[in-house]
Structure 1
Amino acid sequence: MSPALPFPIRTECPPGACTCERERLLEDPQGDTRILRLTREEEKILLARLENIASYDDLKHMQARLQANLGIVVSITPSVHEVRTVRGIGIHLAEQAGLCRKTRQAIPAAIRRCLESKPEIAYAILDENDLFGGTGF
């Protein structure tokens, strides 16, 4: 039996449906259990917040908060090839024990929906990553 944690944790996924290694994380006394604080209800709130990001600074702030509070590292980078749509911007979550497969897919999808509704944030990402490749424009 896993030890009791001082906060509510995410319920386990059905057997075989996920690769989050939740039980291994709970059994490891040195394991980072912050991710388990993201219950399904909290995840819905987080996804809504990510979809409604208002600016590039807000996006950077959310990335920092995800890492500080849950240990989730989100990297957002444009493709090395041509970026014609927001699909050309890569949104990746670092491997992390306890991070549910569905959550691993839902967070980038929510950020992508935000970028589609607010293209100025996508432009800021491209600008920060040297949109013009140092050509002086």
Structure 2
Amino acid sequence: MFVSSYFTQLKSLWDELSSIVCVTPCICGNAKSSIDKQNQDCAMEFLQGLHDRFSAIGSQILLMEPFPSIQCIHNLVRQEEKQQEINIRTTPNIDSAAFQAFKPPSRPSGKRQRPFCEHCNKHGHTLATCY
């Protein structure tokens, strides 16, 4: 799954959850820390659900100070995904050409094939002449 579609699915679930569980504003500032904690939890959930190929960017994001917003994290991971796609497209596939160059011939040339019996699994005769 692409990062964008994964993020969209998670975002719709988070929006649905936030519509059910409302944080009421208050004077003491407790709501801000609660919202920050909720945003950090969403970011961690997003990073944990990513494929292993994004582990390097995930580690870099976790070390950022101050911790970035979920939108910033999404943008960084999308940039990494695009970069990985570019690297995959530009890497030439040399292995298949090398294997074709050194492929041994399927039949030895100049040598006659010995008959093979499929009934007794032996060379030297065919099924029609098997006893």
Question: Normalized per residue, which structure has more strand?
Answer: 1
Per the TM superposition, whether the score is higher than 0.5 is no
**Larger Rg, first or second structure (1 or 2):** 2
Instruction: Tell me the TM-score normalised to structure 1 length.
Output: 0.24
Instruction: Tell me the TM-score normalised to structure 2 length.
Output: 0.25
Whose relative contact order is higher, 1 or 2, with alpha carbons under 8 Å and at least 6 apart? Answer: 1
Question: Normalized per residue, which structure has more helix?
Answer: 2
